[in-house]
Chain A
Amino acid sequence: MYEEPYRWVEAVGNRRQYLDDQFKQGSPVVALTYEGGILLTTVSKGTPKLYEIYDRLALGGMGHPTDLEKLRFSLLEMAHVEGFNRSPSDVTGSRLVKYGIAPVIKQAFEEVYKAPFIVRILVVELGLKPEKDVLLTINYDGTFEEAIGCATLAATPTVQTKMLSYLKEQMRATQSLDQALNLALRAWAIGSLAHQEEEADQQTEAKPSANGGADSSASATPSSDSLMAHVRKVAGERTIECAVLERQAPGSSKYRSIKQADLSQLLPKMFQSGVAN
């Protein structure tokens, strides 16, 4: 029945709705450049969401763990085969994304008989020089965007925009790793809170006695302290995950996952009891 064009359009529309629903429980992911390289962070429960792809490439993801694994493996395969057949410097994030996984994700999304990938993906590439750092995001329909400086994954485009504008407003030209981590976590909190609000709004809208005044109060940006307090509260039950691509790291692999013990030293004092356990 999907042979008819309007049916197909309708099916794709349904798919979007279905997929948007799948990200409701997801935790945002933040990527941010700092003076020594690029930082990736998220607050995850159970399955990790940040991964090493190649010497100078890292991955962050939202969505279904199995779909993320599938795409992670195809990225790893493509990167390593290319790095072996040509050279490690020919393995670039933008080639892997644009000609590698984005077409696959798009195809799966549009083949309405088959299951789509329930993922949003962030690929970051550490350049030889800071101005060559690239951050790429791919949506579940295969659309990709290239960004400089900062990038985020979030449950909805509105939340994503909120996080990005907060990051852009607070970002400094150069920032140390702990400054970047703190900013990234605050941006994560913006995303997490905005998402909670959206959920709450939807529930109130669904009820007949909706209160229209709730929206205006939500638009003010919360203070840094209250954002960090939110991160701390959530981190109690989940894990703060953080990984970096460091330009000055010894050897060819620049990826380093920051261990929980080292993480507590980068976080403000209020976390030190919270993260340690």
Chain B
Amino acid sequence: MGMQGDFFQLLKEQGYTLGVPTAVGAGQALTNATTILAFKYRDGVLVAGDRRATAGNMVMYDRTDKVLEIDRHSVMAIAGVPATAYEMVRILEHSFKYYRRTQLQELSFDGKLRSVSKLLKENVPAALAGTGAVVPVFAGYDMEQGSAKIYFYDILGAEFEGVEYAVSGSGSPTIRGILHYLNTWGEQPLNALPQEQAIVQALRLLTSAAEFDSATGGVNREASLYPVVKLITEAGVQTVPDATLKPLHESQVVRYV
């Protein structure tokens, strides 16, 4: 099997299964309560997510990181059941490394997308049982083509290219409309925004999502809790530090009305 450099296959040979379907009580839908977004800006692609994790009405945790770096040039933002989503990220991380190290070349961007679909497909029984649905957004920089790319998925593993932007999670309907409006009638299309403006828009969008969706965390200034914002450019993935988010939020997002 080594020839194929397929880490997931290797795990399966060792008896590993992802997402075993478990019956849960009727009507207990484990929701995809969150907001994640990705859009292309001038230098690459921006991926952001709020930090709240909920279980029903309860806020479980306010410092979750839902925008996860898989390798130097790709990021997966996750909405859905966190246990499964984190496991998928761990598998992907190891898969890409394993492929690179065994085959002595990087897995192509298309190959990476395929790995995500395959994991989601593997997870369908658990997704349908309601215990393991994951609806991710995968974004990265395709080094071969020299361009940034965004893909989003449904729970069954179908892959769609988000040409300019993609959103997922319970807060996403709110900002999907905003993104469409901004991109079509804004002062400039999203993909022309310079880095700082792109970050400001991401903060505004997540704040809007939090306004209308109780499961989205938004920004909590008192606890200096800011969303996770990552930028993917040709140089790799870069996490925007809170020290940068804070002044931008104060000067361009907060409105004292």
B7-A251 in contact (CB<8A): no
Residues of A with C-beta under 8 A to B14? 81
Please tell me which stretch of B58-66, B91-99, B149-157 contacts chain A, meaning at least 4 of its Cβ atoms lie within 8 angstroms of it: B91-99
Q: Is B72 an interface residue (CB 8 A)?
A: yes
Residues of A with C-beta under 8 A to B2? 73, 76-77
Q: Is A45 an interface residue (CB 8 A)?
A: no
Residues of B with C-beta under 8 A to A80? 7, 10, 94, 97-98, 101
B101-A53 in contact (CB<8A): yes
Interface residues of B in 5-47 (CB under 8 A from A): 7, 10-11, 14
Q: Mark A56-81, 1 if CB is under 8 A from B, else 0.
A: 00000000000000000100110011
Q: Which of B10, B71, B101 has the most CB of A within 10 A?
A: B101
Closest-CB distance, B69 to chain A (whole angstroms) = 8
Q: Is B180 an interface residue (CB 8 A)?
A: no
B91-A84 in contact (CB<8A): yes
Q: Is A149 an interface residue (CB 8 A)?
A: no
Q: Is A253 an interface residue (CB 8 A)?
A: yes
Residues of B with C-beta under 8 A to A51? 101, 104
Interface residues of A in 37-64 (CB under 8 A from B): 48, 51-55
B94-A84 in contact (CB<8A): yes
- Inter-chain CA distance A250–B73, complex, in Å, is 13
Closest-CB distance, A78 to chain B (whole angstroms) = 10
Q: Mark A1-36, 1 if CB is under 8 A from B, else 0.
A: 000000000000000000000000000000000000
Closest-CB distance, A90 to chain B (whole angstroms) = 13
Residues of A with C-beta under 8 A to B100? 52
- Please, which residue of chain A has its CB at the minimum distance from the CB of B91? A84
Q: Is B90 an interface residue (CB 8 A)?
A: yes
- Inter-chain CA distance A93–B100, complex, in Å, is 19
- Please, which residue of chain A has its CB at the minimum distance from the CB of B98? A80
Closest-CB distance, B178 to chain A (whole angstroms) = 33
Closest-CB distance, A105 to chain B (whole angstroms) = 17
B11-A84 in contact (CB<8A): yes
A253-B97 in contact (CB<8A): yes
Given the interface contacts A73-B2, A73-B102, A76-B102, does A81 sit within 8 Å of B10 by beta carbon?
yes
A76-B101 in contact (CB<8A): yes
Q: Is A83 an interface residue (CB 8 A)?
A: yes
Closest-CB distance, A87 to chain B (whole angstroms) = 10
A251-B72 in contact (CB<8A): yes
Residues of B with C-beta under 8 A to A83? 94
Residues of B with C-beta under 8 A to A54? 101
- Inter-chain CA distance A265–B10, complex, in Å, is 41
- Please, which residue of chain A has its CB at the minimum distance from the CB of B238? A250
Closest-CB distance, B238 to chain A (whole angstroms) = 10
Q: Known pairs A81-B11, A251-B72; list 8 more (Cβ under 8 Å).
A: A48-B104, A52-B101, A55-B97, A76-B2, A84-B7, A84-B11, A84-B94, A253-B97
Interface residues of A (CB under 8 A from B): 48, 51-55, 73, 76-77, 80-81, 83-84, 250-251, 253
A-B contact pairs, 20 of them (CB 8 A): A52-B100, A52-B101, A55-B97, A73-B102, A76-B2, A76-B98, A76-B102, A77-B2, A77-B10, A80-B10, A80-B94, A80-B101, A81-B11, A83-B94, A84-B11, A84-B91, A84-B94, A250-B72, A251-B72, A253-B97
